[in-house]
Chain A
Amino acid sequence: MQPATGRLRFFDTGRSARSVRRQRPMNITTKGQIAGAGIGLRPQHYADILDGTHQIPWFEALAENYFGAGGLPLHFLERVRERFPLTLHGVGMSLGSADPLNYSYLDKLKGLAGRIQPAWISDHLAWISSGGHYVHDLLPLPYTQEALEHIAGRIVEVQEYLGCQMLIENPSTYMSFSSSEMSESVFLAELATRTDCLLLLDVNNLYVSATNHGFDAEDYLGALPPDRVKEIHLAGYQEERGYLFDTHGQPVHPPVWDLYRKALRILGPVPTLIEWDTDIPSFGALVEEAGAAQAELDLVS
């Protein structure tokens, strides 16, 4: 069913303005053109977002949701992008994996980024694949020199390939390793120094991990290089027996708001995202959460 494209001459004469625009060069210039409290872009809310009666200044798209060749998802993404700055957030890069980097994934990401010109591209300090098989959940790394050198090399490679700096996010973890030689915050700080990457601080993930592993979240904040933190995520966790589980499916909990305030006092008014991935509520509920974050940002601006 693959057409011999070289012969489909008449298609070249009839392209719409939109499809012509998609042909533009793939230079990506992430400059972090975002400020204030944004919301994670979810298909349920396309209409509300494009209605334009809200004050939400920017949105974040889950990169892999727009890896299709065409169709409605990309159509809406481009319409949102026409009116608002967008960031691209991925879970598929598997930066911490011992497997080779997946260039077919990076190609798709680069193509998408070329098309929508995101303010930032981010992924996680985690791995999701081994032996070429993917688990689609963020698995933790031991914080060793070996892991640091490995993942630093890969971040450098990815940044070179994409042609821009990327943001690395701290994951929620439910396991730590006896072989770890440093704390997660020191690991991240070292990673930023070695690769010139930037950081995405998920305050909910930090709270979840600090609670699960019994470390001091404020010490963690103090160890991060403040000028490197370019984005913050806020989300909700779920309380399980003996640990906190990150569902990104609830309102931001009071202790996470407290930690967020402390983070802002150290870091300043870093652009902040309200992020829900499961049990996604009405757009209005998210606007309200974003409003609360915006009020905190205004206090330190």
Chain B
Amino acid sequence: MELRELQRLMQEAITGDRLDAASMDAAGPEIEPTTGMSGREHLAIYRNAVLGTMLRAMANIYPVCKQLVGEDFFDAMARLYVRRTPSQSPDLGDYGASFAEFIADFEPAAALDYLPDVARLEWSWHEAFHAKDEMGLDIDALGQVPERALQSIRFRIPVSARLLESDYPIHRIWQVNQPDWSGDQSVALDEGAVRLIIWRQGYDMRVDTLSEMEWHFLGEIAAGCTLGDIGDAKNAAGIETLLPRCVQRGWIAGFELTGQDGES
């Protein structure tokens, strides 16, 4: 059998929904039975090893989801996700991005409305943790922008930053399920919607809540709007206070000049 075909069959037998007769019939004769074990048993060792590796990776990225539903439920849910979602990257750190969408469609978790958003928060955290280092906003350079060019400034949120909103207080759910949390573990699910920015300040990970105005302002910045574009929109009146506040909190990481003042 050609190497390519052997590997295709083996991978199918190892990662498929079950070690079925068809994959065994195809791959079985290639496998040398040893130490009293059949070809099926040899393949089963790899099936378990592969699944174990993937479940450990999922539990590392989604510890709060695991804590919320318990180990058995999490493993069953993650196992189905792993079976349906092949890894496309040799770096295991890239795996698991679509888990929130999977949970949203996972019938047994339907009663936990907040769970997909908690998963989104954990994935955002994972991405922010590994995001590129950056220097933060250069206030001096900003001060040198001529007055006539202010409207054409395009600000930038931190490379690490992810904006996330939820109907549930997911930041509180996340917080009380951290290993070092020693306070009250109860969270009122009817506390209302939250808007969050998950980002890294230097090497410090942060989950900050945003007001509705901050949320819209940073959202427009993230979408690539210039200060002038935002000024034309409905929250123009708030910019004078919003901008300094967002700068002070570190949510603005850089800027560029667009149009005539950007060319030189």
Identify the A interface with B (CB < 8 A): 1, 3-4, 7-8, 10-11, 13-16, 19, 64-65, 67-75, 92-94, 97-98, 102, 105, 108, 127-137, 139, 141-142, 144, 146-147, 150, 174-180, 212-214, 242-243, 245, 278
Contact = CB atoms under 8 A, between A and B. Distances in A.
A144 B14 CA distance: 22
Nearest to A243: B35
B90 A137 contact: no
Contacts of A141: 3
Interface string B90-118: 11110100000000000000000000000
A4 B53 CA distance: 39
Nearest to A108: B91
Contacts of A135: 11, 14-15, 50, 87
Nearest to A245: B45
Contacts, number: 167
Given A105-B91, A176-B34, A178-B32, A70 B131 contact: yes
A215 to B, nearest CB: 10
B70 interface: no
B169 interface: no
A102 B90 contact: yes
A179 B9 CA distance: 15
A94 B92 CA distance: 13
B200 interface: yes
B156 A212 contact: no
A64 B256 contact: no
A64 B93 contact: yes
B7 interface: yes
A16 B92 CA distance: 31
Interface size class of B (residues with CB under 8 A): 35 or more
B203 interface: yes
Interface string B21-52: 00000000111101111010111011001100
Contacts of A98: 2-4, 7
Contacts of A4: 256
Contacts of B215: none
A3 B88 contact: no
Nearest to A97: B7
Nearest to B54: A136
Contacts of A64: 90-93
Interface in B39-80: 39, 41-43, 45-46, 49-50, 53-54, 56-57
12 contacts: A15-B135, A67-B91, A69-B130, A71-B130, A98-B2, A128-B90, A129-B90, A136-B92, A142-B3, A175-B39, A175-B43, A177-B30
Nearest to B87: A134
Given A71-B130, A135-B15, A1 B86 contact: no
Contacts of B203: 71-72, 75
Contacts of B29: 178
B32 A105 contact: no
B86 A68 contact: no
A64 B49 CA distance: 19
A139 B131 CA distance: 31
B132 to A, nearest CB: 4
B245 interface: no
Contacts of B87: 133-136
B133 A71 contact: yes
B15 A133 contact: yes
Given A92-B91, A135-B87, A14 B138 contact: yes
B18 interface: no
B140 to A, nearest CB: 8
Given A8-B254, A142-B3, A213-B34, A71 B91 contact: no
A74 B11 CA distance: 33
B237 interface: no
B28 to A, nearest CB: 10
Contacts of A73: 130
A26 B82 CA distance: 36
Contact of B133 (A70, A150, A178, A212): A70
B11 A130 contact: yes
B10 A11 contact: no
Contacts of B54: 136
Given A71-B203, A179-B30, A1 B132 contact: no
A174 B29 CA distance: 16
Report the 5 A-B pairs with minimum CB-CB distance, sorted nearest first: A68-B130, A92-B90, A98-B4, A70-B133, A69-B132
Contact of A71 (B14, B31, B129): B129
Given A10-B138, A139-B11, 19 more contacts: A7-B257, A8-B256, A10-B141, A11-B134, A15-B135, A16-B135, A64-B92, A98-B2, A105-B91, A128-B90, A129-B11, A136-B54, A139-B46, A147-B3, A150-B3, A177-B6, A178-B32, A213-B35, A214-B34
Given A3-B256, A130-B8, A130-B11, A93 B90 contact: yes
Given A7-B262, A65-B93, A71-B131, A178 B31 contact: yes
A93 B90 CA distance: 7
